Amino acid sequence: MIVIPAIDLRGGRAVRLFRGDPEAETEYSTDPVEVATRFESEGARRLHIVDLDAALGTGDNRDIVVEIARSVAIQVQLGGGLRSIEAVEQAFESGVARAVLGTAAATDPGFVEKAVARFDDRIVVAVDVKDDHVMVRGWREAGDAIDAALPRLVEAGAPQFLVTSIRMDGTMDGPDMALYERVLTLAGDRPVIASGGVRNAGDVWALRELGVEAAVVGKALYVGTMQLSEVVRG
């Protein structure tokens, strides 16, 4: 089980949104690179970076992504606004190891096929769920129901999924275990990364028992209800 610290970038800062609402932002640092190196020093094996400005169409934080990738030796996965093969190429040129596809994947499984054909398992497909539907365009629009979307993405060759429960994201109310149990069935043998609601180490162990490969954790690490040392082994 891998715990992946999240760093959400907005306007050059490390922030967290409550349930993805751009109006409900908490700033945690004006130095995201320092946050990244601190997580690495605490034992993180991978970082999850989201460029919120790129996702929301209000700009980008590419320079900071490049600096983070250069400043750590661990893998960095990047999401936010990667809606073309060219954008994915630029992400990899920035030094990240994995590209997280959201809106483009959810709305066009053919894009997933093209991306996987070119970049193989460096592609992660994000499935952001609210009320049983996949949300797109910065979580502002509802797409297909997950029961239809997941099998279609599996058929398109998605190598792995990052599934976020928007209802739980940023709430510290615990993971949506029922959602992940359902997704694991729909995803077949594809690895699933869980995101949203993790409060403490107990939540991490519960997700491990359920069968997810990894958990993206944000707020719990920033406010101190969980330490990486509790969940990182060896």
Instruction: Name the nearest CA neighbour of 168 among 19, 4, 21, 7.
Output: 19
Q: What is the dihedral of CA 156, 158, 163, 166, to 10 degrees?
A: -40
Grouping H, G, I as helix, E, B as strand and the rest as coil, residue 156 is: coil
Could you tell me which residues are beta bridge partners of residue 214?
A: 2, 193
Distance of CA 34 to the CA centre of its chain: 20
Candidate list 60, 128, 169, 176, residue with the active-site label:
128
Alpha carbon distances (Å) from 229 to 48, 166, 195, 224 = 18, 27, 19, 12
Phi-psi region of 3 (alpha: psi -120 to 50; beta: other; left: phi over 0): beta
Candidate list 8, 51, 60, 169, residue with the active-site label:
8
Our answer to whether residue 121 is catalytic in this structure is no
Alpha carbon distances (Å) from 5 to 39, 141, 169 = 7, 26, 14
Our answer to whether residue 63 is catalytic in this structure is no
Residues serving a catalytic function are 8, 128
